[in-house]
Amino acid sequence: MSTASKSVSVAPASAQLRRAPRKLLNRRALDRFGIALIVPLGLLLAWWIASSQGWLPEQILPSPAYVSSTALEMVTSGEIFYHAGASLQRVVIGFLFGAAAGLTLGMAMGLSRRVDDYVRPLFLAFAQIPTLGWIPLLMLIFGIGEALKIIVIAKGALVPMTINTAAGIRAVPASLVEVGHALRFSRLQTLRLIVLPGAAPSLFTGIRYGLTHSWTALVAVELLASSEGLGYLLVWGRQMFWLDVVIVAMVAVGAIGFLMDKGLDASEILVQRWKQGEDS
Amino acid sequence: MSLAATLQTKRAVKIRRGLTLPVLLLALWEVSSHTGLVDARFLPSLEDVFLTAKRELIDNNLFGELGFSLFRNIAGFFIGSVFGILFATLLALSRLADALITPTFNGLKQISLLAWIPLISIWFGFGEQAKIVFVAIAAFIPVVLNTYEGMRNAPRDLIEVGHALKFTPLQRIMRIFLPSALPSIATGVHLGLIYSWLATVGAEYFLAVGPGVGGLIIAGRERFDMALVMVGVIILGLVGFILNRLAATVESYLLRWRVSAH
């Protein structure tokens, strides 16, 4: 009885939510935001107490006030934007190359068992060598210029994109593909109407991990070889034992990663809504 | 019997196909380095790489150092995975924990792993502890993300059945959430294994460059010794490959019920 009433109430509730007045949604979002702030504020308080009581030396844990004044200085002087911009540009270019290549390769591997048999062992062997392993080798070939960075970042995106695309296409139920056959879909129609929508969640996972890997690869390559960018800021701050600069750079790395993730969330929702709209 | 025979040939075809590209690449490599098509400084011949490998592995006891790297890798991976599954279970099943912690976790995970190294090196030093902490964090993140995702997507009807049968929380976790999240958890653990190997190399690069595979590669680059770098990279790849095969075998064993369901 309760099962039935619950499952009935689910659909109208979600429909209502979509049409609900903006105000209600905003309040709910505000509540969630407030709850989410409790943990970070608690940590900040603990940090403030720890440093004002002198529990830890300044080199190990600078005070929040000191870090925030450094942050403000780096923002007003534009220093942080210069470094973040350099990093961001590298990531975008490298990611686009890597994701496009990964999508192509993953689709080929997912669609054809033969291609998969030929390519997968070699691909996995290459993929198992961490990006960090490639950097010194590529440095010998390409030097430490911009090309090295783009290649390393592209490789970071390529691996998860390929694996997830192939796995997503493989995981599309055979029965659905059979339906396509029964409806006499052409290969292209099967791909567009059945395989790709079925693999969409997996593709998004690939894009998400790809972007994360690109970002990691960027930090790695900038830590090892660069004269600008957030990774450079991290190395420089650590060498000088300026933990405030290190923390500001870390926050910048996190903030950019967070914004990219939010952007992906938004686009995933958009695509799903578009899919639902097409279904009904 | 004939079924076994067809399986045998299918396997043979798969192996033949898998070997084709690597063999072709190696042949191309050997030919081009011997005919001087490519500068030998960039592409040393296979014998060169082989001799360097022999020298490092046998004369310079690279095997022993590799053992240390692996131990660090497995220890960190294990700690990170266990905590990851527990942590994700908490977040997925408790609304309060989810609302409190998930946003902070999502924020912190955005700081890419290597960016933690300067901070970790200042807080934990350059020793074993710092390295294992770093490797554990690397495994923790993908395990949490995938376990959480998997439990959140547990079929609604199953959860309802659990309610109807008045399952205790422990029963709900063991009978509903864990089994239905198992494919995702396996993916997470698999990724965690890959990440933790990456972190092991990263730890060797950035936390005290010294002995170990990572140190070997850095040394090779500084001496412009491509053969040495390649040996290091190949060892990295081999270890990663073995770890990946291991994970894939365990994964397909754990998920064998899925195949039989079709």
Instruction: Check A140 against B201: CB less than 8 A apart.
Output: no
CA distance A148 to chain B (A): 14
**Domain harbouring A100, CATH code:** 1.10.3720.10
Decide if B52 is inside a domain.
yes
State how far the Cα of A163 lies from the Cα of A209, in Å rounded to an integer. Answer: 10
B16 in a structural domain: no
Range 165-194 of B in CB contact (< 8 A) with A: 191, 194
Q: List the CATH number of the domain containing B85.
A: 1.10.3720.10
User: Would residue B118 count as lying in a domain?
Assistant: yes
Does A29 reside within a domain? Answer: no
Q: Is residue A271 part of a domain?
A: yes
Asked whether residue B32 is domain-assigned, the answer is no
A262, A263, A265, A271: CA torsion to nearest 10: 170
- The pTM (predicted TM-score) of the whole model is 0.75
Mean pLDDT of chain B: 84
Neighbouring C-beta atoms of residue B58, cutoff 10 Å: 10
Please tell me which of the candidates B13, B17, B224 has its beta carbon nearest to residue A140: B224
pLDDT band at B66 (very low <50, low <70, confident <90, very high): confident
Residue A15 domain-assigned?
no
DSSP states of B152-186 as a string? HTS-HHHHHHHHHTT--HHHIIIIIIHHHHHHHHH
Q: HSE, CB side, 13 Å, CA atoms: give it for residue B29.
A: 15
Counting the structural domains of chain B, the total is 1
User: Does position B112 have pLDDT exceeding 80, yes or no?
Assistant: no
Q: Could you tell me if B117 lies within 8 Å of chain A, comparing CB atoms?
A: yes
Of B100, B117, B233, which has the smallest distance from its Cβ to A133's Cβ?
B233
Chain B interface disruption, residue of A67, A128, A175, A235, most B CBs within 10 A: A128
pLDDT bracket for residue A277 (50, 70, 90):
low
Query: How many domains does chain A fold into?
Result: 1
The pLDDT tens digits of the residues spanning B219-236 come to 888 888 888 888 888 888
* Chain B residues 56-85 with a CB less than 8 Å from chain A: none
Task: Report d(CA A175, CA A195) in Å as an integer.
Answer: 11
Contact (CB<8Å) B197/A130: yes
Residue B244 or residue A96, greater confidence: A96
Query: Which carries the bigger pLDDT value, residue A245 or residue B173?
Result: A245
pLDDT band at A157 (very low <50, low <70, confident <90, very high): very high
The mean predicted confidence, pLDDT, of chain A is 83
Distance from the Cα of B159 to chain A's closest Cα (Å) equals 10
User: Is B121 in CB contact (< 8 Å) with chain A?
Assistant: yes
Q: Is residue A43 part of a domain?
A: no
Weakest mean pLDDT among A137-146, A189-198, B19-28: A189-198
Residue A1 lies in a domain: no
Domain holding A143, by residue range, is: 69-279
Residue A11 located in a structural domain:
no
**Domain that residue B230 falls in:** 46-261
Checking if the pLDDT of A219 tops 50, the result is yes
- Which range has the worst mean pLDDT, A11-15, B26-30, B208-212, B216-220? A11-15
Residue B147 lies in a domain: yes
**Domain annotation covers residue A48:** no
Residue B27 touches chain A, beta carbons under 8 Å: no
Q: Give this complex's ipTM.
A: 0.71
